[in-house]
Amino acid sequence: MSRAVAVCHGPFGRVSIYDLDRPLVLHAHREAHLIFFLEGSRGLVSIKGRSTLVDPFMGVAINPWEPHSFQPERAGSFGLFLVVYLKPEWLAAQTMTPAGALAFPASELVLTRELASWRDEVVGMLMSSHRELNLEPVLMALAQASSEPIGLDLASALIHLAPKGALDRRVLRARSLIEDHPSHEGALERVAREAGLSRAHFFKLFREQVGVTPTVFANTVRLDAALDRLVFSGDPVTRISHALGFSCQSVFTRFFTAHMGMAPRDYRRVLRRVGPTSPLAKTILPGQMALKACHV
């Protein structure tokens, strides 16, 4: 069973160390996404149908909303990975550029000495017992190093990912409905019906304009809502499951595990948080600042 070794959420996004032995379904993130191998079994990351082997010599960079999946090189074998999710607005603020999203120039990251050094610095900080982690400058350096293999500067790599031209009003309505009501599973069919479109036509239009299918978009919104509640509230998993419209806790756990690789309770077990508190915050989670010791 895959497990979280270390998890830290902050203004930058989130950064984690996962020990993975199972595939992850096709999914996407709002954040810019970096994956680095640490030890054990290597992993295959597929982005737009192209697979990259994440190993000691190669990492992966994934743009916001870029669909991807993961599977261990050998089924049932554990592999330890550093997984970084960086908010585009945080990256833009660090580089003093207009608000946008990080577009990595290539999905394959050759592990240069500099990149490996910053990766190891992040791992060392995550595995430390210090209560205060000043991760932001290190993560920014890691992002900068990840943009350098083909000689691009990070600031010049920040671009707007909005599609050319205005979004179709039906797509805008669908996106807003999904984001405002992550627990409403019938949103997609409802919007397609009210727009007078067949489900197939609506799904095609949404994918063309947003870049992902409505299902992947809805799953991303739902997963983000689950993470917010796990991180910033003391609600039990059963209550979170009910709030997000899952029929029962086991269905929620299967959904979370398929996207994250581990159960929600395991994710919360090693969680710690830095920076401002979310409006969702109610209580400090028990043991939130504790980090399970692990040799990396």
Domain end: 162, 182, 201, which one? 162
Q: Which run of H or E residues covers position 65?
A: none
Any domain includes 197: yes
> In the prediction, which pLDDT does 148 show?
64
CATH assignment at residue 111: 2.60.120.10
Domain end: 129, 146, 162, which one? 162
Residues 181, 148, single domain; the answer is no
Domain span at 248: 169-261
Q: Which residues of 29-51 are buried (b: 16+ CB within 10 A; e: fewer)?
A: bbbbbbbbbbebbbbbbbbeeee
pTM: 0.84
222 in helix, strand or coil? helix
Residues 116, 243, single domain; the answer is no
Any domain includes 278: no
Pairing of strands 3-10, 271-273: parallel
Distance CA 96, CA 245 (A): 39
Residues 155, 173, single domain; the answer is no
Provide the strand spans (E) within 21-78.
Answer: 24-27, 32-40, 43-47, 50-54, 58-62, 68-72
How many domains does the structure of the chain reveal?
2
Residues 12, 157, single domain; the answer is yes
- Sites in the chain below the pLDDT cut of 50: 96-101, 149-164, 279, 281-296
Read off the pLDDT of residues 243-277 as tens digits, 9 standing for 90 and up.
998 989 999 999 999 999 999 999 999 998 887 65
Domain end: 145, 162, 179, which one? 162
